[in-house]
Amino acid sequence: MKLTPFGKLVRHHRLHKEIALTEMSAAVGVSTAFASAVETGVKRIPNDYPTKVIAALDLTPREAEELREAAEISASEIKILMAKNAPRSDREVVAMFARRFNNLPADTKLSIRTLLEDDVVE
């Protein structure tokens, strides 16, 4: 059984706080089988699941942010929200990126990452 980064972190916090999977799943409102399947990556992480787990495990703000990041990293699909009035050219760029991402060489992905990190405005 291979855990996702999200699953590893959830399990770490559960065990550290001595919370059984059955207890956490009840607090989150899902079956134990579903919670286990999410931890192991068999089931995708529902959008509201990290927030519910954060509350159930009473995580600190720092732990909560780490868990949200782990959920993003663990996702096999990532949704890009665009403004309804986004130009067609923007939509074409996003669609092209999605279609070609898996075949991009590692150095190209690194270049894109560097470009995006450099352009982040805080």
Mind listing the pLDDT tens digit for each residue in 61-78?
999 999 999 999 998 777
What are the extents of the domains in the chain? 5-74, 88-118
User: Residue 12 and residue 88: Cα distance in Å, rounded?
Assistant: 44
Verdict on whether the full-model pTM lies above 0.85: no
User: Residue 103 and residue 89: Cα distance in Å, rounded?
Assistant: 22
**CATH class of the domain at 5-74:** mainly alpha
**Nearest Cα residue to 35 out of 62, 56, 58, 60:** 56
- Over 70: is that where the pLDDT of 46 sits? yes
- Over 80: is that where the pLDDT of 119 sits? no
Alpha helices in the chain (DSSP H): 5-16, 21-28, 32-39, 49-57, 61-74, 88-100, 106-118
- Over 60: is that where the pLDDT of 122 sits? no
